[in-house]
Chain A
Amino acid sequence: MTMPARRNVTSRRVAMAQARQSRRPSRLGMPAGVARAPDRVLDLDAGFPELLARVWREARTAADLTDAVQTLLTLGDRVPADVQLRALRPAEECALRVLCGISWRTDDPSPSSGGPPTDRPVFLGSIGLTTSGRIAVGVPSQGPLAKQEDLVDGVIRVPWSASALADYQGELRHATQTLARSIVDCRQWLAAEGASGRDDLLEQLKEAALRTAPFVLYQEARRYTNFRERNNLSGKTLWPGHPDCALSSLRGVPLELWSDSDAAMVVCLTLLTRSAGYARIEEANGTQLTVDHVAELLERTRRTYNAVPGGPEVPPAASTRIEQLNALAGALRERRPSVGQTAQLYREIYGPLMHKIERVAAAPGQAARKAEAELCAVLRERLPVAGGTLGELGAGLAATPDWLSRPRGDFGTGLEAVVYETVTAARRVFDADFAMSRGLRSLPKLVQALRDEDWPEITRWDLPDFFCCVVPALAARLFFEDKTARLSDVAWSISARMQYNSWHFLAGNLPKVPEVIARDYFVPPTIPDISYYSDQHHHGHVAARVRFSIRSPQAVTVLGRAFPGFIDLRLLRCEGPPFSEQDLLAAHRTSAFIARATSLAAALVAAGENVTVTSFDPRWHWEKIAHSGPKIDG
């Protein structure tokens, strides 16, 4: 008979031995950290640098200037040209208007001197592509482009005719005056806020930079970013209060000492966040952060919201003065919830520039209904549910939820079976290379912490307290050296990253006690998104070939408290066509089904049942993927 003290020692030893094991599926059974070298190393240029080099080569061999510019603006048909047009500095914008007749502005006709000059060029300009993906235009009196910008590889020379030069001069005069007026207006508005009001704005914007996804914004050639390269805004690299943070460094500094670009940056970021919260900043990603750009974004949003029936009509701003735009931003924020109740809001994400566009989805059509019907048919076969729609399946769950806490098939609980079967069905129905859903392992721990209002306890939970069930298509191994072991490792690395996302979002739902404020967290997402060409920046995205995806976050209710972004469903394609809006609508109803099951499970826990997710660890992914052969295709 083993004495209790000895048993404790033994179990501690077992736990320590387990902790020393590698969690990479293909290295299970080996100690962690002993592999002599990585299994594979990505080329340093993989992802975005490689894309830019390819786009630049295409532009250099284009038939003419217009084709070359179009290639650069769209990064080879991967982003809307409109986004890159907004990234142009005012002088560059004027140059492209006169040289190519293109502009993002819709309110005035673009003069174009059109085509190559017929007479002897009076100025030899240039265009290039910067290493951050922005098109750069060499204009008169600014010196060689290569000395001002980090270029991918040289320039394309652009001859200017005398008439182009004259048109440019007129355009530039107008643009310079407009910009100068807007800076004066920004300064007046900031002055009216007073010193303490400005400090409050800076604090709010630091919090915005810290609690949302990274962004890259321009003021002329100056870059404000908490992303790649040298950061100058709070984020993962620069902690709050870091002296290199452009926002921190303005605190307490007299307005007269602020640069024009700093003044415009603070005002524009304020307008954006006031119109919808922090996430709106990402809708300016990759563009010049100027007042007229923000004015256009707000106006475009106003028209989008007003097109949704119901709710009060938001009037346009009377002018592009900051005071008027501030009022419009506030009105949009008030209108947004009613838009979301009537229609499905979502975001498109253009991965190369991380640029987001808020959209209102059309009503679900035949494609969405067909996908939902197929999903329901699979779920009826695999789970004790009935009904023709996910809503009906969810209602059935709500009527008899008890089985969610009981073992089912290979799983310790019915909730795990719901997660796995729904993810597996979604992967097939949406023809994804990977599908996944994440969540919290121990609902009993959460219920207890909520009852105790022990917010610090929740902030202490770490990645192993969360799960993500990742199901790949067997055929997806072809993207990974045709090896299921490698596919298993990729699936687990995705799973681990999703656990991090759950960890990152959960604290964002808690009251802002000191322990929560001190914790690294993001504001949880509330609307779904569709991503295009996301395999560019994040090393994990490059390695796992996350090209096209749908992310569908959902709130879960626990003890009457809603936790936005508590779970999600994600679909991923490594190649092939992107997902559609109809896919997104059906996927969002699918994630709502998982969220409903999770809320019901939490209610069971509140009533005394135990629902703890023990599946979906590295071994589960290894056995399911590397050992199961075709079974993983369902």
Chain B
Amino acid sequence: MPEARNGRQERVMTRSRSDNWRKPPRRIESSECITCDMCVRNCPEEFGAIFDRGLDVIIIPELCSGCPACVLVCPVDCIYVDADWSPTGNDMWTHIELTLEGTK
């Protein structure tokens, strides 16, 4: 799915969310998350929006289309709609950029 991957690459490079996505992104409530990584493993490759960071598992709102893939596999239902999302910080983007094709 090279086209989809290019879409992700563009979102990572521009650090911005697709204008075509109508749904808000999702977020993981760390108080309820058991860090089983089911969401990480099941986030579609074309989005690649979920990362482990220290003790937390986090969704990068700029990369999350709001699709329900993670919600459907979460064993504890701790993933919520994040209509008021905040932009991702530079440190995290530096980390994410390494996941672009050929670097991970």
Contact = CB atoms under 8 A, between A and B. Distances in A.
Most chain B beta-carbon contacts within 10 A, residue among A37, A229, A540:
A540
B83 to A, nearest CB: 10
Given A229-B54, A237-B52, A42 B31 contact: yes
A377 interface: no
B80 interface: yes
Contacts of A463: 36, 38, 75
Contacts of B76: 23-24, 489, 492-493, 496
A20 B67 CA distance: 13
| SS class, residues of chain A in contact with chain B | loop
B55 A38 contact: no
B104 interface: yes
A449 B78 CA distance: 33
A41 B31 contact: yes
Nearest to B74: A32
B31 A236 contact: no
Contacts of B16: none
18 contacts: A23-B75, A23-B77, A32-B68, A33-B81, A38-B78, A39-B32, A40-B31, A42-B30, A42-B31, A227-B54, A236-B35, A462-B73, A493-B75, A500-B34, A503-B36, A538-B55, A539-B31, A539-B33
B55 A35 contact: no
Contacts of B32: 38-39, 493, 543
B71 to A, nearest CB: 3
Contacts of B79: 32-33
Smallest CB-CB A-B distances: 4 pairs: A33-B71, A496-B75, A500-B36, A42-B31
| SS class, residues of chain B in contact with chain A | loop
Interface in B25-48: 26, 29-38, 41
Contact of A236 (B29, B34, B52, B72): B52
A35 B77 contact: yes
Interface of A: 19-20, 22-24, 27, 32-33, 35-42, 227-231, 236-237, 239, 241-244, 462-463, 489, 492-493, 496-497, 499-500, 503, 520, 537-540, 543
Given A540-B34, A543-B32, A37 B80 contact: yes
B53 A237 contact: yes
Contacts of A503: 36
B71 A231 contact: no
Contact of B68 (A33, A496, A539): A33
Contacts of A231: 54
A459 B41 CA distance: 13
B13 interface: no
B4 interface: no
Interface string B42-65: 000000000111111000000000
A239 B104 contact: yes
B7 to A, nearest CB: 22
B29 to A, nearest CB: 4
A20 B70 CA distance: 11
A38 B75 CA distance: 15
A22 B75 CA distance: 8
B55 A537 contact: yes
